[in-house]
Structure 1
């Protein structure tokens, strides 16, 4: 069982886990929380905790409270494109039922008779795993596309877990220490209370329920996080003081590597765990499966953590507790309790370690340690291909100040080792493939990366660290302010409409950077964008 902090603040129970199966619902209870799941669809219809009969939005239909979903497109003549599908299971099965643990399965098989109606995947939602003494529950799913010629070619644009919380209770959101605040109501985004902006996700609040939000912009993309930082996020209710958090203890099942940004929590109150998504990347991050292409992947488990404090205590401390619980979950990975053989346990995985050095004689005569380098294992490909890889698993680690790195608990299989080093251009790829077998401990020794160059550096603009943080980010138009990002240098680039400021600052010609005189911190706009000139209305 995972670590010893599983009773949320203010909750204690030693009750065994109980399973009650009804005609149309399944109820799982461990004395701390109670889950109600629709049967056989496998949707989360209720989460009872700490005096709240349901933390999920009771005004929503049962199918719009807690669910897994996919967005898929057929890659054949059927023409089905961008189909949003909540995964409704057709078969319910008890996998484990003891006083220590209950795990249930809601599965939806696919066969060629369903072509064009549903995503061509067998899906087994393990909804949900509840443990004795746990102030939360786990969920994971197994997706499979069979290697049979009758299995349709398709692309998977998105898959995720979504929870819709009660809007009358959950008003405070936290996705990072510097991005947490009381949030507008979902009603504030409706006509009459909001003015649409350049895209449908962004609105200007003109008549919000809470007047203090008047004049602000709400846009869910302002709260996205890079995978490497997206370990815990969620919402807090003040009455009663309760927290609802999604904790992702590993990034192995997410696509795109550590820098890929994903949605998490936003106005709704909505709490997401996105596993595959094209946001910020486009079609390169959409996995495509040929007709009869064999594929299987386990997404998760992720932990849905609920916590509370006693009346009179500060509810905002629930965020700190959630971060502590995140560390417990990370240290417990890979979990020992999932019953599926498709989720390998620790002894069925392997480890890789080594040292990364950088050789650049124009900087130093000796090899330099790859301090802060990101080193990862991903499916075989070219250097840098991990950024586009979105079908299988990836494992990443950050090298220490001496360049030493270790990658632990890697699934068995064939990989390439990739890396990049902040401060140096280019991508590294180890020339030999790496085969992971159960229990292996591979030491690759010293690896030397030689960044590309044709001679000494004559001049450069900025820092090659895959971030634009060092460049000039302007103040937003006062019409488009999110107060959370005011005086927040780390996140001020998230303000809405900054692309318009480029045209205001450079109305006729692009900026000019004079080597030796200009300062990229003040003179290089963080994004080079087209400038707005005029509307052109006519027939084309």
Structure 2
């Protein structure tokens, strides 16, 4: 065992910065070492420290909590004013089986046993485990948890992954959330970066204290009334304003400007995240806090809570994710650290699946398989020939119904996008049985391949040409929006000047401002939205969310109108109204045709959705698709009106985000078609 005591002189911050800045990946020739820090003369060692000459990471023993990261002359990148178990940790939220909410018992996971898994000059891998037994029923979540930490020679950072396992016969429970969190030193890290156009200097955590802020509609959102630094007066701080889709959530973190130092979390694969490529998750926020979310109910609600039945066995590996640190000479623009972190993310992605995790539960590349093929779209009312599914999202996920992947969390998912000609290739798939799913921007609905796919080590499965036939019964009479599963193309108002995050002023993501739901009542104080087909412009005249209207006594439901003309009506024919929803939150969608008071309505969805995307500045949550049959006898030659009512009205956040609406006429006789919408 290499167990030499490492002193602060072992780290050379000047060498680090020159090395990182010039060639990004340091090449110090130091071996990876670890040592145990003793408490007095006792044989009990309270800390384990990893170092490779570039950085030094201290982890509590046997808890497995990261308590110190020493780098670039900074004694600790983490917040030492926090308790030692509130700096760098894995945590989860769980509840008893039968509980229907998204909350539960919070558990900052602490190990009870420490093991050295790998130790040589190239790599050290440590394990901190906690095992469950029946005596812990009701006290701890019924899981065996193995937290791993890895440091490599010459690597400017460290890796972490975990293996969660439950045995057959164990009691059931719900698992709404699990993640890794790092609480950085607030004196050093003030600048946060989530994307090229989503980065800024952030307020201090102290600015969220009661005497310095006003709590808004929910506790996560506050208006800064007396911040320590005057530049933040009047701003809204809300962690949900920095959420991100899984497919885009690859690197995010914080920068210390003096000395120029970055702390980044890099996720090279989404295979272990729940909910597919467009599931939204938290990233970084005031704290300064840095997160890697694996399971969460955010933007999905109870539909995304993982439920384990009594006796159900299960195992899943989360990660590894890479905690990357970088630095630059003081004369260099510190914004460079973000671009370096993006390049490092590409390097990590190229190395996936990693070769170095020692657990047999993490398969290497030669024990994985591939699937490739081509996806085409066939819609005879658009084109006689199949069309290439340019930009289609194609993925493998556990067997289920079409679209079930967006609510799936127990297994692994593997996604890619098709090229201009519809060809796709999905690589590095874990062994197992999957269905192939897809959805295509520009078309409604979900594709699912009929046959299950069995992945074996080293397989390369060619699927050939697959044809998706989206729902279609007749020609398009009119349409509103773009079928892309978001409400981004609709009218997003300017925020109330009282509730501003300056980052999103004149920003493509203008929907991320706080309080936009309140603007509907201001724009439509007495009468609801009326949209006239052929006259109105959905980018200006269709409010992005059908929400409740605020009244003196509370809230009331709203009814939107779509007015349109028909030159001819087939009284005996069947018309189809396609309603694709980008989100629903404790809402109900009722449809009536030419009679706003018809009872019962032509269609009702019943109570749907708990994704809370409206409150959390999301332009989408879970996707819903409904088809409403409208008999020709309900329509008239000339003027017609479809009424869309959302009657639920106990809060400002009940509502619907529409993705796309289309009215189809009766189907043409066999052999006839039209060539365009």
Q: Shorter-chain TM-score: what band?
A: over 0.9
Which residue is equivalent to 1:500?
A: 518
Once superposed, what is the RMSD of the aligned Cα atoms?
A: 1.7
**1:449 & 1:516 partners in 2: Cα distance?**
30
Name the CA shift for 1:396/1:80 in 2 (closer, same or farther; >3 Å): closer
Which residue is equivalent to 2:97?
A: 75
User: Aligned to 1:284, what secondary structure does the other structure show?
Assistant: helix
Question: What is the deviation of 1:35?
Answer: 0.6
**1:137 & 1:315 partners in 2: Cα distance?**
22
Question: What is the deviation of 1:7?
Answer: 6.3
Question: What is the deviation of 1:33?
Answer: 0.4
User: Aligned to 2:338, what secondary structure does the other structure show?
Assistant: helix
Which of 67, 88, 110 aligns to 2:132? It is: 110
Matched, 1:64 2:86: yes
Number of residue pairs matched?
A: 529
**2:544 & 2:19 partners in 1: Cα distance?**
45
Which residue is equivalent to 1:84?
A: 106
**2:27 & 2:370 partners in 1: Cα distance?**
37
**1:26 & 1:56 partners in 2: Cα distance?**
16
Which of 140, 150, 169 aligns to 1:129? It is: 150
Which residue is equivalent to 2:465?
A: 446
Question: What is the deviation of 1:390?
Answer: 1.1
Larger radius of gyration: 2
Contact kept, 8 Å, 1:415 with 1:433, in 2: the verdict is yes
**1:7 & 1:391 partners in 2: Cα distance?**
41
Which residue is equivalent to 2:571?
A: none
Question: What is the deviation of 1:80?
Answer: 13
User: Aligned to 1:532, what secondary structure does the other structure show?
Assistant: strand
TM (normalized to structure 1)? 0.96
* 1:408-447 to 2 correspondences below 5 Å: 408-447=427-466
Which residue is equivalent to 2:343?
A: 324
**1:54 & 1:111 partners in 2: Cα distance?**
37
Contact kept, 8 Å, 1:7 with 1:134, in 2: the verdict is no
Name the CA shift for 1:7/1:145 in 2 (closer, same or farther; >3 Å): farther
Which residue is equivalent to 2:604?
A: none
Matched, 1:520 2:542: no
Which residue is equivalent to 2:204?
A: 185
User: Aligned to 1:59, what secondary structure does the other structure show?
Assistant: coil
Matched, 1:241 2:260: yes
Which residue is equivalent to 1:339?
A: 358
Structure 2: where are the runs of 5+ without partners? 1-16, 38-44, 556-677
Structure 1: where are the runs of 5+ without partners? none
Name the CA shift for 1:141/1:6 in 2 (closer, same or farther; >3 Å): farther
User: Aligned to 2:366, what secondary structure does the other structure show?
Assistant: helix
Question: What is the deviation of 1:509?
Answer: 2.5
Name the CA shift for 1:46/1:352 in 2 (closer, same or farther; >3 Å): same
Which of 52, 60, 65 aligns to 1:38? It is: 60
Name the CA shift for 1:7/1:376 in 2 (closer, same or farther; >3 Å): farther
Name the CA shift for 1:8/1:303 in 2 (closer, same or farther; >3 Å): farther
Of stretches 101-110 and 12-21 in structure 1, the one that deviates more from structure 2 is: 12-21
* 1:350-429 to 2 correspondences below 5 Å: 350-429=369-448
**1:6 & 1:448 partners in 2: Cα distance?**
54
**1:529 & 1:181 partners in 2: Cα distance?**
31
What do the CA deviations read for 1:295-324 (whole angstroms, capped 9, x no partner)? 000000000000000111111110000000
**2:71 & 2:27 partners in 1: Cα distance?**
12
Which of 521, 531, 535 aligns to 2:549? It is: 531
Contact kept, 8 Å, 1:6 with 1:133, in 2: the verdict is no
Question: What is the deviation of 1:6?
Answer: 13
Question: What is the deviation of 1:12?
Answer: 4.8
Which residue is equivalent to 2:249?
A: 230
Question: What is the deviation of 1:9?
Answer: 3.0
Matched, 1:275 2:294: yes
Question: What is the deviation of 1:76?
Answer: 6.2
Which of 223, 226, 232 aligns to 1:207? It is: 226
User: Aligned to 2:442, what secondary structure does the other structure show?
Assistant: coil
**1:298 & 1:80 partners in 2: Cα distance?**
22
**2:27 & 2:428 partners in 1: Cα distance?**
32
Question: What is the deviation of 1:479?
Answer: 0.2
Which residue is equivalent to 1:16?
A: 31
**1:155 & 1:9 partners in 2: Cα distance?**
46
Which of 216, 219, 236 aligns to 1:217? It is: 236
**1:467 & 1:432 partners in 2: Cα distance?**
29
TM (normalized to structure 2)? 0.77
**1:19 & 1:476 partners in 2: Cα distance?**
52
**1:63 & 1:223 partners in 2: Cα distance?**
25
Contact kept, 8 Å, 2:389 with 2:421, in 1: the verdict is yes
Matched, 1:256 2:275: yes
Name the CA shift for 1:506/1:80 in 2 (closer, same or farther; >3 Å): closer
Name the CA shift for 1:536/1:355 in 2 (closer, same or farther; >3 Å): closer
What do the CA deviations read for 1:155-209 (whole angstroms, capped 9, x no partner)? 1010000000000000000001110000001011111211110000000011111
Query: Which is strand-richer, 1 or 2?
Result: 2
Contact kept, 8 Å, 2:439 with 2:447, in 1: the verdict is yes
Question: What is the deviation of 1:535?
Answer: 3.8
**2:102 & 2:281 partners in 1: Cα distance?**
25
Name the CA shift for 1:462/1:115 in 2 (closer, same or farther; >3 Å): same
Which residue is equivalent to 1:97?
A: 119
Contact kept, 8 Å, 1:76 with 1:153, in 2: the verdict is no
Contact kept, 8 Å, 2:378 with 2:469, in 1: the verdict is yes
Name the CA shift for 1:536/1:374 in 2 (closer, same or farther; >3 Å): closer
**2:121 & 2:552 partners in 1: Cα distance?**
68
Contact kept, 8 Å, 1:7 with 1:133, in 2: the verdict is no
Q: Which has the higher contact order (CA 8 A, sep 6+)?
A: 1
Name the CA shift for 1:536/1:466 in 2 (closer, same or farther; >3 Å): closer
**1:170 & 1:81 partners in 2: Cα distance?**
30
Contact kept, 8 Å, 2:18 with 2:329, in 1: the verdict is no
User: Aligned to 1:460, what secondary structure does the other structure show?
Assistant: strand
Question: What is the deviation of 1:81?
Answer: 6.5
Name the CA shift for 1:263/1:368 in 2 (closer, same or farther; >3 Å): same
Which residue is equivalent to 2:671?
A: none
Name the CA shift for 1:289/1:8 in 2 (closer, same or farther; >3 Å): farther
Contact kept, 8 Å, 2:102 with 2:297, in 1: the verdict is no
User: Aligned to 2:476, what secondary structure does the other structure show?
Assistant: coil
User: Aligned to 1:170, what secondary structure does the other structure show?
Assistant: coil
Which residue is equivalent to 2:575?
A: none
